[in-house]
Structure 1
Amino acid sequence: MGNDMHPFVREAAEQTRKGFISRRDFFKYAACFGISAMSAGTLLGLSAPEIALAAEPDWKGLAKESPFEIKNRLIDMAEEACSKQQCSMINAGRGNPNFLNTTVRKGLSLLTLFAAETAESESPAPDTGLRIAKDGLAERFNAFIQAQRGAPGAVFLEQAMDYAARESGLDADELIFELTDGIQGDFYPDPPRIFPATEAIVNHYLDRVVFSGKPPKGKFNLFATEGATAAMIYIFNSLKENMVLTPGDKVAIVTPIFSPYLELPVLRDYGLEPVYIRGSEAMQWQVPDSEVAKLKDPKVKALYMVNPTNPTSVSLDADTVRRMAGTIKAHNPDMVIISDTVYASFVDEFNTFGALLPENILGVYSFSKYFGVTGWRLGVVMVHENCVIDRLIAALPKKKQAQLDLRYRLTSTKPGSIKFLDRLEMDSRQVALAHTGGLSGPQQAAMCLFSLFELLDETFAYKKSIMGILGKRWTALFKAVGLPEPKGNNLTRYYALIDLEQLATKLYGSGFAKSLSKRHALEFLFRLAGKYHTVCLPGAGFAGPAWSLRVALANISEEDCTAIGKNILAVMADYKKELG
């Protein structure tokens, strides 16, 4: 670089170092001579983060990327800043919690030990077990638990099995066999959709978490999946395969929302037209009537959402759910509602469309956040026994019915009678491999035990503990940043969405906020990462306000929350010096 650098560029660099030329103008000048931003920045003695800021990135182009891709760039900048400042990066970009349930993990370890020892006791060869027999297994389990009375997890495991035997309606031997053989993982999931005891127990759990102990009439059947992510993909694929959603159909999306859910329907795989149902910041992210009215359009075939929301941490209140459900029932009664309720466990007040429109809803739930099991991939889809989708499929023209019969004839001599719930499981393995489908046995056993833990916790001690941790982080962040702390029974406090334009107005007035808004909001995040080693995600990437950022509180400490608030203020102060 040194020998090839044009003398005019060297002179411009010297003028830039003396402050006579701005860095941004210097980079533009150097580019005219075909000199890269990295080479020009090195000539000025700048670090990579400083170069990234000064070289004026294509913010509009960058904003088209997923927030989670942008996050990787921010992490690189923050790490480099830390290497120079000898500090620790604060990564508030991921929603993976840093808290987890330990009691169930101990119980799972003990159940695994019982399964292995029981299999081994039937084998004549060392290091080898044989598949266990069902008869007398409950008695063998009770003897094992008595012998392990002082072991970690023993009390919980014994209580869990007693509760499950009462509530599942299964014979004790059948119950212990299902969970033991499940944790052993020595056989294909059978039935593939979900184990009977797991379905019964998880349904009890969902009655408590999703329906607040007051489930609607009728039965919800479950399909166990690899977390909520897989559930959503399976749902969209199956709706497409069954011609319930076809290219060009409109799908309503409640925003702000988890960014991949904005990207999913417009993929070429589906070709759907999104209709955004925008929550109002002035209404604490509830949905105004003007947005609810969009659901009257019969061309809107589906509605989907994350409730409680990501990134705003708000559960839709009873009035919002009532108004939206009433509009759907009156004007669009065949609408399919897809609701991701992964954060329902974190609020004291949760209102679900499943209570008012149970036949319309495909409820998705994941255990990942509440129990700290994102790596386990534990999720379910809830489908009512009188699901509206079965009626929609039955009403398809005969030609389309024949096409579907051809698809599902591999699994039944009467393919037309297959319910959507079972098609969902079959489609997850492209039908041809449906017999090997389903969530793995160990995952289902884990899901069952996590559900039993919550059901045994009559005073909600674990929930209160988790919500207490998040509450302290929430308070620390808003106190440090100087904005009013949002309050309410419908807040998860799992994420915080900080309105930077509102903050700018509060700090330095509306004139400054107006000047700031002429810049790109991503620049703020890159400054926060490059100078203050703090990673947050752009709120705009979640269909939130253009000048906002998302702070994930679940994986950082209370001290980090305070530091993030101070660092946001420091970036604001830098802009004030620059913009006046």
Structure 2
Amino acid sequence: MSKSSKSGSDNRAAMASLSPFELKDELIKAAGGGVVERPANVSMLNAGRGNPNFLATIPRHGFWQLGLFAMRESERSFAYMPEGIGGFPKHEGLEERFEIFARENKGTPGIDFLFGAVSYVRDQLGLNAGEFLYEMCEGILASNYPVPDRMLKLSEVIVGQYLRREMIGKHPFVGDFDIFAVEGGTAAMTYIFNTMRENFLIKPGDTIALGVPIFTPYIEIPRLNDYKLEVVNINAVVEQGWQYSKEELDKLRDPKIKAFFLVNPSNPPSVKMDDESLAYIAEIVKERPDLILLTDDVYGTFADDFVSLFTLCPKNTILVYSYSKYFGATGWRLGTIATHQENIFDEQLAALPDEQKAILHERYESITTEPDKLKFIDRLVADSRTVALNHTAGLSTPQQVQMVLFSLFALMDTPDAYKNALKRLIRNRKQALYRELGIPLEDDDKNLVDYYTILDAEYIGERMHGREYVEWMLKNTQPSELLFRLAKEARVVLLPGRGFGTQHPSGRVSLANLNESDYMQIGRAIRKLMNERLEQYKAETSGKKGK
């Protein structure tokens, strides 16, 4: 082997240890660098990141129109001053003035939605329309701190109704839950891990379980010096449609496992947990009422008839939901953490040893006269601002307003027109990809969500060229080699499936961020690469047979 080729091999080996999101940057360099000459009209196809190329327009139009109305309300104060000074909206007559505004601007995009939203809040949710408009106007003007800091009062009610519809549906559910509005799902994860550690719910050396494959940060966070947790993998079985077998779920019966963290529907397989598995976990929780569950359900809104684990095990579960993917709002950073008002987190805090209670009493005594009674979800809020800055905690109010408008848009869409359009969009893209691969699309699984798809080299290779070819390819292929060849030769960027905990060499394709013709091009590029490897296989094996 030459020195340069050995160096390249070493670099690839080092890159195999990178997070898939960091490796993606190297793949982008390989696809877009200036080392290899390419025609100027050939563009890079980055199917690596999950950022959708679609977004919800109607609630955004509503946001901007609401902003204009709120500005008009603000300018009613200090109107005698020409220097551009406004004031807070005024409660009295606000609803009537909004109706005048809506009539004056009828036909303008967003106005009908806003008018309908106010009606829905008043007539369907039973809330005071004037109070709602005031909270929205003050919020969009960002003229006050978030109060309450965990979430604005009526905003929490409306977002709660949205979560009930999308995460619980028609399933029986007893009791209420609290919501903490946060800066997207990533902030939710950060806050939860931190508060669990600070409150002795998890400690260095403790064991947690991860449902794998899983969003890479869940794999990486427990290993950090901040936590030093032991991890037991609960492996989804590809041959069983990426579901967890009973044998795998039985690992949760081990009392040393403090918590089970999962993404549902999964990332990257993009499959929702089936009803049987949900019920089986609920049975385990009955035997293990101390087991903490954390479910990240960001892709639940793309699934058919989705039911969250939060529904079946509400007192044991922390529910994380982000608006980013479904509404095309990754830049808004909108997420929620929800816990049932009767939960094991508060029970475990109450049962801590006196020494640990004393430490926590001192930690939170500056923000409440009864720190021992501070709920887990309110500790999340305080810890998100290092406790001392709790008085300025909370998601920015314009973000909360947009979250509310997204929620109302979905609640008012009783035929699920928006949801069905998105499902149709991403599933057509998947069909186009597999059609160009030349592989039959096994798409009869009702649990498939299809926001992502895993292109498993073993699965694809065997269906294209047979088992012997696959065994040769796996033996003679470095973990990231095929991904780098796709990037350099076809300018196609995929994320490595290995980084998410998958057991086979694979690439994760986001079906949300490119157009249908692009997925056709990706399918052709992968097929071309596989055919080239087939020629190498034939040359090597025929030479050996000749000897």
Q: Please indicate the TM-score interval, normalised by the length of the shorter structure.
A: over 0.9
Q: Secondary structure at the match of 1:479?
A: helix
Q: How does 1:422-437 map to 2 (within 5 A)?
A: 422-437=378-393
Select 2:49's aligned residue among 80, 83, 94: 94
Q: Work out whether residues 436 and 523 of structure 2, in 8 Å CA contact, stay in contact via their aligned partners in 1.
A: yes
Q: Secondary structure at the match of 1:270?
A: coil
Q: Which residue of 2 aligns with 1:400?
A: 356
Q: Which residue of 2 aligns with 1:357?
A: 313
State the 1:98 CA deviation: 0.3
Return 143-152 or 239-248, whichever deviates more. Answer: 143-152
Q: Work out whether residues 180 and 338 of structure 2, in 8 Å CA contact, stay in contact via their aligned partners in 1.
A: yes
Residues 445-472 of structure 1 show CA distances to partners (whole Å, capped at 9, x for unaligned) of 1111110001111100000111110010
Query: Within 2, Cα distance between the matches of 1:168 and 1:247?
Result: 45
Select 2:397's aligned residue among 438, 441, 450: 441
State the 1:133 CA deviation: 2.0
Query: Within 2, Cα distance between the matches of 1:520 and 1:78?
Result: 18
Q: Work out whether residues 325 and 357 of structure 1, in 8 Å CA contact, stay in contact via their aligned partners in 2.
A: yes
Q: Which residue of 1 aligns with 2:16?
A: 63
Q: Work out whether residues 439 and 464 of structure 2, in 8 Å CA contact, stay in contact via their aligned partners in 1.
A: no
State the 1:138 CA deviation: 1.5
Query: Within 2, Cα distance between the matches of 1:263 and 1:293?
Result: 24
Q: Which residue of 2 aligns with 1:18?
A: none
Q: How does 1:446-485 map to 2 (within 5 A)?
A: 446-485=402-441
- Structure 2 portions without partners, runs of 5+: 539-547
Q: Which residue of 1 aligns with 2:277?
A: 320
State the 1:200 CA deviation: 0.8
Q: Work out whether residues 302 and 336 of structure 1, in 8 Å CA contact, stay in contact via their aligned partners in 2.
A: yes
Query: Within 2, Cα distance between the matches of 1:532 and 1:371?
Result: 31
Residues 50-76 of structure 1 show CA distances to partners (whole Å, capped at 9, x for unaligned) of xxxxx3244332111000111111111
Q: Which residue of 1 aligns with 2:2?
A: 25
State the 1:168 CA deviation: 4.5
Residues 458-516 of structure 1 show CA distances to partners (whole Å, capped at 9, x for unaligned) of 10000011111001001111121133323233222110101111221222222221111
Q: Secondary structure at the match of 1:485?
A: coil
Query: Within 1, Cα distance between the matches of 2:431 and 2:533?
Result: 26
Q: Secondary structure at the match of 1:84?
A: coil
Q: Work out whether residues 207 and 214 of structure 1, in 8 Å CA contact, stay in contact via their aligned partners in 2.
A: no
Q: Amino acid of the residue matched to residue 88 of structure 1?
A: S
Return 161-170 or 554-563, whichever deviates more. Answer: 161-170
State the 1:167 CA deviation: 4.3
Q: Work out whether residues 167 and 311 of structure 2, in 8 Å CA contact, stay in contact via their aligned partners in 1.
A: no
Q: How does 1:486-505 map to 2 (within 5 A)?
A: 486-487=442-443, 488-505=445-462
Q: Work out whether residues 294 and 318 of structure 2, in 8 Å CA contact, stay in contact via their aligned partners in 1.
A: yes
Q: Work out whether residues 317 and 351 of structure 1, in 8 Å CA contact, stay in contact via their aligned partners in 2.
A: no
Instruction: Confirm whether residue 121 of structure 1 aligns to residue 76 of structure 2.
Output: yes
Residues 9-55 of structure 1 show CA distances to partners (whole Å, capped at 9, x for unaligned) of xxxxxxxxxxxxxxx53636xx8xxxxx6xxxxxxxxxxxxxxxxx3
Query: Within 1, Cα distance between the matches of 2:172 and 2:181?
Result: 20
Q: Which residue of 1 aligns with 2:38?
A: 84
Instruction: Confirm whether residue 541 of structure 1 aligns to residue 499 of structure 2.
Output: yes
Query: Within 1, Cα distance between the matches of 2:338 and 2:284?
Result: 23
Q: Amino acid of the residue matched to residue 129 of structure 2?
A: A
Q: Which residue of 2 aligns with 1:15?
A: none
Q: Which residue of 1 aligns with 2:468?
A: 511
Q: Work out whether residues 315 and 349 of structure 1, in 8 Å CA contact, stay in contact via their aligned partners in 2.
A: no
Instruction: Confirm whether residue 278 of structure 1 aligns to residue 231 of structure 2.
Output: no
Query: Within 1, Cα distance between the matches of 2:381 and 2:122?
Result: 27
Q: How does 1:30-41 map to 2 (within 5 A)?
A: none
Distance 1:116 1:265, change over 3 A: same
Query: Within 2, Cα distance between the matches of 1:27 and 1:151?
Result: 63
Select 1:206's aligned residue among 163, 168, 177: 163
Query: Within 2, Cα distance between the matches of 1:192 and 1:274?
Result: 34
Q: Work out whether residues 16 and 479 of structure 2, in 8 Å CA contact, stay in contact via their aligned partners in 1.
A: no
State the 1:414 CA deviation: 1.0
Return 116-125 or 218-227, whichever deviates more. Answer: 116-125
Distance 1:446 1:215, change over 3 A: farther
Q: Secondary structure at the match of 1:514?
A: helix
Q: Amino acid of the residue matched to residue 64 of structure 2?
A: S
Question: In percent, how many aligned pairs have the same letter?
Answer: 41
Q: How does 1:1-20 map to 2 (within 5 A)?
A: none
Q: Work out whether residues 183 and 445 of structure 1, in 8 Å CA contact, stay in contact via their aligned partners in 2.
A: yes
Query: Within 2, Cα distance between the matches of 1:112 and 1:71?
Result: 38
Query: Within 2, Cα distance between the matches of 1:129 and 1:463?
Result: 39
Instruction: Confirm whether residue 157 of structure 1 aligns to residue 157 of structure 2.
Output: no
Q: TM-score, normalised by structure 1?
A: 0.89
Query: Within 1, Cα distance between the matches of 2:463 and 2:116?
Result: 54
Select 1:247's aligned residue among 204, 208, 220: 204
Q: Amino acid of the residue matched to residue 44 of structure 2?
A: M
Residues 322-369 of structure 1 show CA distances to partners (whole Å, capped at 9, x for unaligned) of 112212321x21111111100010011323211211100000001110
Q: Amino acid of the residue matched to residue 270 of structure 2?
A: S
State the 1:320 CA deviation: 1.0
Return 158-167 or 178-187, whichever deviates more. Answer: 158-167
Instruction: Confirm whether residue 565 of structure 1 aligns to residue 527 of structure 2.
Output: no
Return 511-520 or 184-193, whichever deviates more. Answer: 511-520
Select 2:478's aligned residue among 520, 525, 548: 520
Return 302-311 or 160-169, whichever deviates more. Answer: 160-169
Query: Within 2, Cα distance between the matches of 1:375 and 1:215?
Result: 34
Q: Amino acid of the residue matched to residue 386 of structure 2?
A: Q
Q: Work out whether residues 150 and 181 of structure 2, in 8 Å CA contact, stay in contact via their aligned partners in 1.
A: yes
Matched pairs, number = 532
Distance 1:215 1:408, change over 3 A: farther
Q: Work out whether residues 205 and 229 of structure 2, in 8 Å CA contact, stay in contact via their aligned partners in 1.
A: yes
State the 1:169 CA deviation: 4.0
Q: Amino acid of the residue matched to residue 242 of structure 2?
A: W
Query: Within 2, Cα distance between the matches of 1:501 and 1:411?
Result: 56
Q: How does 1:411-422 map to 2 (within 5 A)?
A: 411-422=367-378
State the 1:377 CA deviation: 0.6
Select 1:577's aligned residue among 520, 525, 535: 535
Q: Secondary structure at the match of 1:442?
A: helix
Select 2:514's aligned residue among 556, 561, 567: 556
Q: Amino acid of the residue matched to residue 429 of structure 2?
A: R
Q: How does 1:230-269 map to 2 (within 5 A)?
A: 230-269=187-226
Query: Within 2, Cα distance between the matches of 1:83 and 1:217?
Result: 63
State the 1:570 CA deviation: 1.2
Query: Within 1, Cα distance between the matches of 2:56 and 2:431?
Result: 23
Q: How does 1:374-389 map to 2 (within 5 A)?
A: 374-389=330-345
Instruction: Confirm whether residue 333 of structure 1 aligns to residue 299 of structure 2.
Output: no
Q: Amino acid of the residue matched to residue 194 of structure 1?
A: M
State the 1:545 CA deviation: 2.8
Query: Within 1, Cα distance between the matches of 2:170 and 2:380?
Result: 27
Query: Within 1, Cα distance between the matches of 2:143 and 2:51?
Result: 30
Query: Within 2, Cα distance between the matches of 1:383 and 1:394?
Result: 16
- Structure 1 portions without partners, runs of 5+: 1-23, 32-36, 38-54
Distance 1:172 1:27, change over 3 A: closer
Q: Which residue of 1 aligns with 2:544?
A: none
State the 1:77 CA deviation: 1.1
Q: Work out whether residues 73 and 90 of structure 2, in 8 Å CA contact, stay in contact via their aligned partners in 1.
A: no
Q: Amino acid of the residue matched to residue 191 of structure 1?
A: P
Residues 170-225 of structure 1 show CA distances to partners (whole Å, capped at 9, x for unaligned) of 32221111011001111110000011111111111111111123351010110000
